[in-house]
Amino acid sequence: MATLVIVESPAKAKKIAGYLGQGYVVCASLGHVRDLPGSKGEIPERYRQEPWAALGVNPATFTPIYVVPPAKRQTVRELQQLARTADAVLFASDMDREGEAISYHLSRLLGVDQPVRMVFTEITKDALQRALQTTRPLDLRLVAAQEARRVIDRLVGYRVSPLLWNSVGSKLSAGRVQSAALMLLAARDMARMTFRPATFWVIRAAAQTRPAFTATVTHVRSKDHPAGRPIAKASDYTQAGVLKEGAQVLVMTGEQASALSAYLDGKDATVTRVDLTETRSRPAPPLITSTLQQAGSRLNLSARRVMDVAQTLYEGGYITYMRTDSPALSDEALSEARREAARLFGPGAVPSQPRQYATRNKNAQEAHEAIRPAGTTWRAPDTVGLTGDTLAVYTLIYQRTVASQMHDAVFDKTVVTLTCGAATLSAQGRVLKDAGYLRLLQDDAGDPDDQNLPALTPGQQVPLRARPPEGKTTSPPTRYTEATLVQAMEKAGIGRPSTYAQTVSTLQTRGYARLAGRHLAVTAVGLLVATYLARQVPPVMHRDFTATMETGLDDVAAGHTTRVDYLTRFWTEGLAPIIGRASHEAPSLPLPHLEGTRLRAAASGPHLVRGGQAAPLPPEVIPADLSEAEAVAIMQGGWTPPKQRRPRGAAHPDTSQAARPRKSMKAAPHKPRGAPKRKTKP
pLDDT at 1: 65
**CB contact at 8 A, 263 and 217:** no
CA nearest to 578, candidates 156, 292, 276:
156
At 409, which helix (H) or strand (E)?
strand 409-420
Q: Which CATH fold would you assign to the domain 3-148?
A: Rossmann fold (3.40.50)
User: Cα 454 from chain centroid?
Assistant: 41
- Catalytic-labelled residue, pool 24, 237, 321, 500: 321
Q: 601 near 163, Cβ under 8 Å?
A: no
pLDDT over threshold 90, residue 643: no
Cα→Cα distances 480→184, 295, 296, 369, 484, Å = 9, 15, 15, 29, 5
Percentage with pLDDT > 70 across the chain: 92
Mean pLDDT of 492-497: 83
Are 203 and 263 in contact by the 8 Å Cβ rule? The answer is no
Q: Where are the domains of the chain?
A: 3-148, 159-193+480-635, 199-278+410-431+446-473, 289-403
Closest CA to 340 of 398, 389, 397: 398
* CB contact at 8 A, 531 and 623: no
12: pLDDT strictly greater than 70 = yes
199-278+410-431+446-473 CATH choice from 3.20.20.300, 2.70.20.10, 3.40.50.720, 3.40.50.261: 2.70.20.10
Whether 524 contacts 486, CB under 8 Å: no
The pLDDT value given to residue 678: 38
pLDDT digits (tens, 9 = 90+) for 259-314: 999 999 999 999 999 999 999 999 999 999 999 999 998 899 999 999 999 999 99
Kindly report the CA angle at 304 between 394 and 324, in degrees rounded to 5?
65
CB neighbours of 276 closer than 8 A, spacing ≥ 6? 412, 413, 414
CATH no., domain 159-193+480-635? 1.10.460.10
- How far is residue 408's CA from residue 438's CA, in Å, rounded to a whole number? 8
Q: At what angle do helices 482-492 and 497-509 cross, to 10 degrees?
A: 130
The rounded distance, in Å, linking the Cα atoms of 668 and 308 is 19
φ, ψ for residue 194, nearest 5 deg:
-85, -10
Q: Please state the separation of Cα 344 from the chain's center in Å.
A: 31
In order, the DSSP letters of 244-261 are PTT---B---HHHHHHHH
**pLDDT on residue 123:** 94
How many residues in total does the chain contain? 682
Which residue would you say has higher pLDDT here, 672 or 357? 357
Return the closest-CA partner of residue 386 out of 271, 500, 307, 309. 309
- Write the pLDDT tens digit of every residue in 16-53: 999 998 999 999 999 999 999 999 999 999 999 999 99
Q: What is the CATH number of domain 289-403?
A: 1.10.290.10
**Is the per-residue pLDDT at 228 higher than 80?**
yes
Mean pLDDT of the chain: 90
Q: What is the pLDDT of residues 86-130, one digit of tens each?
A: 999 999 999 889 999 999 999 999 999 999 999 999 999 999 999
| pLDDT of 361 | 53
Structure confidence at residue 447 as a pLDDT band (50, 70, 90): low
So what's the pLDDT on residue 644? 59
321 is catalytic: yes
C-beta separation of 194 from 208 below 8 A: no
Q: What is the DSSP string of 186-200?
A: HHHHHHHHH----EE
In tens, the pLDDT along 536-593 reads: 999 888 777 777 888 889 899 999 999 999 999 999 998 999 999 999 999 999 999 9
The answer to whether the beta carbons of residues 552 and 570 sit under 8 Å apart is yes
The CB density around residue 224, as the number of other CB atoms within 10 Å, is 6
**Is residue 403 helix, strand or coil?**
helix
pLDDT tens for each residue of 140-191: 999 999 999 999 999 999 999 999 999 999 889 998 889 999 999 999 999 9
503-546 pLDDT, tens digit per residue, is 999 999 999 999 999 999 999 999 999 999 999 999 888 777 77
Return the pLDDT at 358. 78
What is the rounded CA–CA span in Å between residue 528 and residue 523? Answer: 9
